[in-house]
Amino acid sequence: MLKKIIIALVILLVGIQFYRPAKNISEETPTTDFLVVNNADESMATLIKNACYDCHSNNTNYPWYSEVAPFSWWIADHVKHGKEELNFSEWSTFTEKKKNHKLKEIIEEVEKRKMPLESYLPMHPEANLTDDQIKQLTDWVRTLQQ
């Protein structure tokens, strides 16, 4: 009986590898992008890309484990929800009211360490912001508020 269960599990694990969610990869940075529109310097752009862009833009850098189901499904779901909440690639398409609201949310989420998600950090240590990086980021975002 145990042997049949193990065989069934192996078949199931192999079978689910054939369902691949679409990848969130774009070839270029659009002119509507948050960093482009706000003329971020290189250090700020790197900080924001490392901490935010995998889930909140149209270009995700996928880790090796994103090729393995069910992790690929979990990552695709995170990216989908992240982009629904805020898509930095479409920043200039937002109304001024929405931009200001999102800037306020960015400050709040980062200062409270709700973003980046805790589940994201173990495999992406570059996204684990120090206190100084949080201050640098939130101070810069505050300069964008109107």
Alpha helices in 17-145 (DSSP H): 34-37, 42-48, 54-56, 71-85, 96-111, 131-144
pLDDT along the chain (146 residues), means of 10: 86 83 91 97 97 96 92 94 97 97 98 96 95 98 91
* pLDDT of amino acid 18: 86
Residues 6+ apart with CB under 8 A from 87: 56, 57, 58
> CA 107, CA 137: separation in Å to the nearest integer?
8
Boundaries of every domain in the chain: 2-144
Contacts of 65 (CB under 8 A, 6+ apart): 71, 123
pLDDT computed for residue 115 by the predictor: 97
pLDDT given for residue 44 in this prediction: 97
